[in-house]
């Protein structure tokens, strides 16, 4: 098969293989794993294995079922995502899942229903799924993919066996990127991308590290001058969406640490000079206030994409010279 798992997934995969071999798979698996760990690949490989007609612990890659998976046309594989990216998974979509779950397999084998991201199910969608999980149809395997467990109904969680990806070490990420992409990465970029290997990869390959540097330098100039030229910062932030605000939030958190005399565990561990300079030139009260309002602003922008982001960001930046 085309899919080869990532090195940090091998432990979980071996445990799943044991469950498959011993016929002890729970009918619903909840993968509580952030995006950026390659969770899709793990679940795809699991699904390929269960649908393969050889019924082994790896997909054979040659049977009719494996052929259909490769052509993206397997009738027993249903991967449910929001109909519009970023929106909810509707109750109608879950009702359709429930009806697939009750159908018989086209190949007299398993049916796979994968829901991603499970936290995007509306409450009525989650309740509709719950009914099926409470009385699981035979030979139907559910997999729920979620970034965190917090947004899922406890009743859904209690009906699934939960699997989490353990934190992937900086050494594993560094080694993997060197071997597969010939990329040399620094520790700051790994911390900045929350130890998520695919996010680190994209940080370098999509030139986000350049944008990160630009943002830091524009922001430093902006908040340290009495003129407060917000245009460059806002322009960079609009290009980056939430990621840019997340980096700024980390920066403000590092500045607060410096002001409190904490000099270890900074996210921006390679930007000591910038952090030191900002910690000296902006009052700790103002940094604290701006840190809180930035996090509120991020939440608002995520919840209400229609808001005037440019205006709100400009207002937030002007608060730095408002005192
Ligand atoms: Zn096969």
pLDDT tens track for 203-252: 999 999 999 999 999 999 998 887 778 899 999 999 998 999 999 999 99
| Structural contact between residues 160 and 126, judged by C-beta atoms closer than 8 angstroms | no
pLDDT tens track for 19-70: 999 999 999 999 999 999 999 999 999 999 999 999 999 999 999 999 999 9
Note the pLDDT of residue 148.
84
Domain with CATH 1.20.272.10 in the chain: 207-321
Q: Which of 82-86, 129-133, 158-162, 183-187 has the lowest mean pLDDT?
A: 82-86
- Return the CATH number of 207-321, one of 2.70.150.10, 1.10.3720.10, 1.20.272.10, 1.10.1660.10: 1.20.272.10
Q: Report which secondary-structure segment, H or E, holds 238.
A: helix 231-240
Task: Report the C-alpha gap between 275 and 257 in whole angstroms.
Answer: 10
Q: Report which secondary-structure segment, H or E, holds 164.
A: strand 161-164
The CA 58 to ligand 1 mean position distance, Å, reads 8
The CA 72 to ligand 1 mean position distance, Å, reads 14
Domain with CATH 3.40.50.300 in the chain: 7-164
Token digits for 206?
């999509």
The CA 79 to ligand 1 mean position distance, Å, reads 19
Mean pLDDT, residues 167-174: 97
| The domain defined by 7-164 carries CATH number 3.40.50.300 | yes
Note the pLDDT of residue 1.
44
Q: Output the CA torsion sign for 90, 147, 202, 232.
A: positive
The CA 19 to ligand 1 mean position distance, Å, reads 19
The CA 56 to ligand 1 mean position distance, Å, reads 9
The CA 145 to ligand 1 mean position distance, Å, reads 24
pLDDT tens track for 65-91: 999 999 999 999 999 999 988 889 999
Sheet holding 28-32, edge to edge: 77-80, 111-115, 140-146, 28-32, 161-164
Note the pLDDT of residue 322.
66
The CA 44 to ligand 1 mean position distance, Å, reads 13
The CA 61 to ligand 1 mean position distance, Å, reads 5
The CA 179 to ligand 1 mean position distance, Å, reads 29
Cis peptide before 161 (omega within 30 of 0): no
The CA 6 to ligand 1 mean position distance, Å, reads 21
Contacts for 307-314: CB closer than 8 Å, 24+ residues apart: 309/237, 309/238, 310/234, 310/238, 313/230, 313/233, 313/234, 313/237, 313/238, 314/230, 314/234
Q: Which of 250, 193, 165, 170 is nearest to 216 (CA)?
A: 250
The CA 55 to ligand 1 mean position distance, Å, reads 8
pLDDT at 3 over 80: no
The CA 175 to ligand 1 mean position distance, Å, reads 32
CA dihedral 115, 116, 120, 121 (to 10 degrees): 0
Q: Which of 223, 232, 234 is nearest to 309 (CA)?
A: 234
The CA 74 to ligand 1 mean position distance, Å, reads 12
Task: Report the C-alpha gap between 264 and 5 in whole angstroms.
Answer: 35
Strands 28-32 and 77-80: unpaired
Task: Report the C-alpha gap between 34 and 39 in whole angstroms.
Answer: 8
Neighbours of ion ligand 1 (CB under 5 A): 52, 60, 63, 66
Mean pLDDT, residues 146-158: 91
pLDDT band (50, 70, 90) for residue 150: confident
Task: Report the C-alpha gap between 298 and 303 in whole angstroms.
Answer: 9
The CA 34 to ligand 1 mean position distance, Å, reads 29
pLDDT at 194 over 80: yes
Phi and psi angles of residue 86, each rounded to the nearest 5 degrees, phi first: 90, -15
Length of the chain: 323
The CA 76 to ligand 1 mean position distance, Å, reads 14
pLDDT at 120 over 80: yes
């Amino acid at each position: 098969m085309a899919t080869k798992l990532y090195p940090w997934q091998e432990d979980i995969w071996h445990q799943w293989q044991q469950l498959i071999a011993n016929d002890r798979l729970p009918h619903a698996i909840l993968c509580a794993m952030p995006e950026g760990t390659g969770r899709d690949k793990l679940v795809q490989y699991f699904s390929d294995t269960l649908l393969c007609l050889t019924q082994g612990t790896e997909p054979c890659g040659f049977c009719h079922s494996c052929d259909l998976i490769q052509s993206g046309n397997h009738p027993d594989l249903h991967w449910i995502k929001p109909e519009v990216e970023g929106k909810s998974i509707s109750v109608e979509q879950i009702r359709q899942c429930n009806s697939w779950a009750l159908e018989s397999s086209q190949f007299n084998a398993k049916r796979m229903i994968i829901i991603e991201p499970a936290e995007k199910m509306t409450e009525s969608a989650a309740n509709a799924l719950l009914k099926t999980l409470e009385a699981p149809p035979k030979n139907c395997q559910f997999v729920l993919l979620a970034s965190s467990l917090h947004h899922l109904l406890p009743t859904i969680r209690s009906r699934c066996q939960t699997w989490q990806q353990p934190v992937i070490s900086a050494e594993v990420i560094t080694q993997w990127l060197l071997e597969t992409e010939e990329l040399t990465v620094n520790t700051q970029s790994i911390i900045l991308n929350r130890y998520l290997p695919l996010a680190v990869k994209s940080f370098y390959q999509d030139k986000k590290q350049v944008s990160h540097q630009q943002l830091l330098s524009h922001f430093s100039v902006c908040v340290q001058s009495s003129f407060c030229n917000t245009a460059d910062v806002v322009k960079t932030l609009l290009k980056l969406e939430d990621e840019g605000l997340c980096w700024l939030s980390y920066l403000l958190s590092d500045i607060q640490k410096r002001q409190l005399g904490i000099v270890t565990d900074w996210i921006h561990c390679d930007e000591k000079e910038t952090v030191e300079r900002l910690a000296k030139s902006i009052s700790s009260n103002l940094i604290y206030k701006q840190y809180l309002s930035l996090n509120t602003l991020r939440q608002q922008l995520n919840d209400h994409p229609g808001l005037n982001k440019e205006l709100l960001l400009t207002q937030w930046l002007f608060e730095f010279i408002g005192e």
